């Protein structure tokens, strides 16, 4: 995309792009530049997690949301800026993933609303579009929190308003927006204490900054693919999950282990890889780097040749992606979803693992959307799960705090009657399903399910991705950590230690039942040995064990 943008406009034409009224074509170029800059810095934005746990990555969610926006705009191809802005907003809305993606789509929705009925955009209209973007983003969140992407769009808009008072051209306004965005991102830890504890800035605000910075860099002729990138520890690379989301046209998976030369630049390496393929991951440990990428058939040897020019290759693995996906599908029994008739309630459940999906189906779910701690589903994917069901009564269980906004937006774009139960994890989702009244009203089901999710508490066991101290819990990278209802409560060097630390924090005297859902990295034998110890220490508790199949999290525990 960088070469395409550079070829389309000379330096003089780039300046003219924002010194004159901008049309639909110009807006499209600016958004493409913003996407390119965000993509180059996607790994860095992903690294800005507050908690040291694997979760839906903000950078990935924002990139996929922007890609959906651009794809819709490419279909429209209008020189009218109002029409193009609405195509971008619609694409972003339907492709929105995670809270950051949904809020970003609201920003573009407001931006587009200000451009209604206009052929081009001048400086004054640009400022009005920023104002409407800010207002729409804040209205789209029930309880706005400062120190987030909302603060950054607010500060950017304030800078645009002040600069416009001087009669500045659009180029200068954009430059001030970027400056203010940078300062706003740096201030986010002062506004949101949890960011300061974690030692990071807000990831969503950082992603928004990169989008606008990309627009500015483009018109100034600066490179868009220079990035702030980080290599994951080898233990954190998730190569299995990449099979769940294979991009169209990507035929082969290539994994390379290599030792780099002294002049190796991770930033330049990412930049080069981005021109070759997608689903890029780079891990590092003890001087060895591991690179993962998806490429089309004709480029399957290109990553090898490129990497060989930058170091010494130790090992190469190459797999046919379509064959892998087909093999994995053949190994699994199809999930039997609940049949739904006209007038009945249909439940759509988001699930992070095959075992959890099967449990939801057994409890009466009519549709399952794959997603959770790793890849957050888009609004479009959630809508697709229920739009063809033969009923207009739909209940959505997002089962993840980062999917609730996407589910709510899916409800807004549908003509069906939809209720979103704000379940934050699978145990809450199961509790809600146990209260399902298929032939009841939406109101009856909503009341029963909201009551049910208050009665279950959830423990989660996973591995820490970095050193951090949060809420007086000291964590070392690689420790096994415990979360209780989304709060970090314990850290230990062993899985057993973290589990019993969690159970002590949960005050089990007040509960009757524990249900363990074990992840894809654990064997039944490992789980049974742990659970036997739990039974011995807590003999009065009713304890069940189920395969969950979720990635990253060794255990998810329902406490009832």
**Domain residue ranges in the chain:** 2-219, 232-322, 344-453, 457-559
Tell me the per-residue pLDDT of 11-39, one tens digit each, with 9 for 90 and over: 666 666 776 789 999 999 999 999 999 98
Query: The pTM is what?
Result: 0.81
Q: What is the overall mean pLDDT for the chain?
A: 89
Q: Which CATH class is domain 457-559?
A: alpha beta
Dihedral sign from CA coordinates of 431, 433, 439, 441 = positive
pLDDT score recorded for residue 60 = 87
Query: Which range among 417-426, 468-477, 531-540 shows the weakest confidence by mean pLDDT?
Result: 468-477
Sheet holding 232-233, edge to edge: 232-233, 278-285, 288-295, 252-260, 311-320
Fold observed for domain 2-219: 1.25.40
Answer whether residue 327 shows pLDDT above 80: no
Query: What separation in angstroms does the CA of 355 have from each of 332, 333, 361, 520, 549?
Result: 11, 11, 10, 9, 5
pLDDT score recorded for residue 164 = 93
pLDDT score recorded for residue 557 = 96
Query: What separation in angstroms does the CA of 523 have from each of 341, 503, 520, 547, 549?
Result: 39, 21, 8, 9, 10
Query: Which range among 75-84, 169-178, 212-221, 241-250 shows the weakest confidence by mean pLDDT?
Result: 241-250
Q: What number is the average pLDDT over the span 194-199? A: 88
| Closest by CA position to 217, among listed 228, 226, 204, 207 | 226
Q: What number is the average pLDDT over the span 422-449? A: 95
pLDDT band at 380; cut points 50, 70, 90: very high
CB-based contact 495:530 (threshold 8 Å): yes
φ, ψ (nearest 5 deg) of residue 358: -65, -35
Share of the chain above pLDDT 90, in %: 65
Answer whether residue 332 shows pLDDT above 90: no
Q: Quick one: tokens of 86?
A: 């609405």
Q: What number is the average pLDDT over the span 503-509? A: 92
Query: Which range among 12-21, 34-43, 159-168, 313-322 shows the weakest confidence by mean pLDDT?
Result: 12-21
Q: Quick one: tokens of 112?
A: 């587009």
| Structure letter (DSSP) for residue 220 | T
Q: Which CATH class is domain 232-322?
A: alpha beta
Q: Quick one: tokens of 499?
A: 């589990």
Q: Which CATH class is domain 344-453?
A: alpha beta
| Closest by CA position to 515, among listed 545, 484, 538 | 545
Could you give the CA distance from residue 277 to residue 297 in angstroms, rounded to a whole number? 11
| Strand-pair partners of 515 | 544, 558
Q: What number is the average pLDDT over the span 256-280? A: 86
pLDDT band at 140; cut points 50, 70, 90: confident
* Bigger pLDDT: 39 vs 420: 420
Q: What number is the average pLDDT over the span 176-194? A: 95
């Amino acid at each position: 995309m960088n070469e395409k943008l550079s070829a389309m406009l000379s330096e003089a034409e780039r300046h003219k792009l924002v010194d004159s009224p901008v049309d639909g074509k110009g807006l499209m170029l600016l958004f493409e530049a913003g996407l390119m800059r965000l993509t180059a810095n996607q790994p860095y934005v992903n690294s800005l997690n507050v908690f040291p746990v694997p979760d839906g990555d903000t950078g990935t969610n924002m990139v996929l949301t922007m890609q959906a926006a651009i794809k819709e705009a490419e279909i429209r191809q209008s020189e009218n800026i109002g029409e193009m802005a609405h195509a971008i907003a619609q694409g972003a809305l339907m492709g929105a993933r995670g809270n950051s993606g949904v809020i970003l789509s609201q920003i573009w929705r407001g931006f587009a609303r200000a451009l209604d009925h206009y052929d081009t955009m001048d400086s004054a209209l640009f400022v009005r579009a920023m104002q409407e973007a800010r207002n729409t983003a804040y209205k789209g969140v029930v309880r706005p929190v400062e120190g987030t992407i909302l603060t950054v769009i607010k500060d950017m808009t304030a800078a645009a308003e002040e600069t416009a008072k001087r009669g500045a051209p659009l180029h200068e306004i954009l430059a001030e927006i970027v400056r203010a965005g940078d300062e706003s991102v740096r201030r986010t830890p002062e506004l949101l204490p949890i960011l300061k504890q974690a030692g990071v800035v807000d990831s969503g605000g950082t992603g928004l900054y990169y989008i606008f910075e990309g627009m500015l860099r483009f018109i100034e002729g600066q490179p868009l693919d220079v990035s702030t990138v980080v290599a994951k520890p080898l233990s954190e690379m998730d190569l299995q999950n990449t099979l769940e989301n294979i991009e169209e046209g990507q035929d082969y998976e290539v994994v390379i282990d290599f030792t780099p030369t002294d002049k190796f630049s991770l930033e330049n390496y990412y930049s080069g890889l981005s021109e070759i393929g997608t689903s890029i991951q780079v891990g590092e440990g003890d001087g060895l780097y591991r690179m993962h990428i998806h490429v089309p058939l004709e480029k399957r040897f290109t990553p090898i040749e490129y990497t060989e020019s930058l170091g010494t290759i130790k090992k190469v693995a190459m797999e046919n992606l379509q064959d892998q996906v087909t093999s994995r599908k053949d190994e699994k029994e199809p999930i039997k979803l609940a049949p739904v008739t006209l007038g009945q309630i249909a439940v759509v459940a988001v699930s992070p693992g095959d075992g959890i999906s099967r449990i939801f189906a057994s409890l009466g779910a009519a549709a399952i959307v794959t997603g959770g701690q790793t890849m957050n589903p888009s609004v479009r994917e959630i809508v697709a799960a229920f739009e063809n069901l033969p009923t207009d009564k739909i209940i959505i269980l997002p089962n993840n705090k980062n999917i609730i906004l996407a589910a709510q937006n899916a409800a807004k774009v549908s003509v069906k009657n939809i209720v979103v139960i704000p379940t934050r994890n699978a145990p809450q989702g199961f509790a809600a399903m146990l209260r399902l009244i298929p032939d009841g009203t939406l109101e009856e089901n909503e009341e029963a399910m909201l009551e049910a999710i208050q009665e279950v508490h959830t423990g989660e066991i996973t591995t820490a991705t970095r050193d951090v101290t949060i809420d007086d819990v000291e964590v070392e990278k690689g420790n096994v950590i415990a979360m209780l209802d989304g709060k970090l409560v314990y850290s230990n060097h062993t899985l057993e230690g973290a589990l019993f630390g969690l159970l002590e924090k949960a005050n089990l005297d007040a509960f009757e039942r524990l249900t363990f859902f074990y992840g894809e990295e654990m064997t039944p034998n490992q789980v049974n040995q742990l659970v036997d110890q739990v039974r011995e220490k807590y003999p009065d508790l009713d304890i069940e064990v189920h395969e969950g199949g979720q990635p990253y999290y060794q255990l998810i525990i329902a406490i009832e």
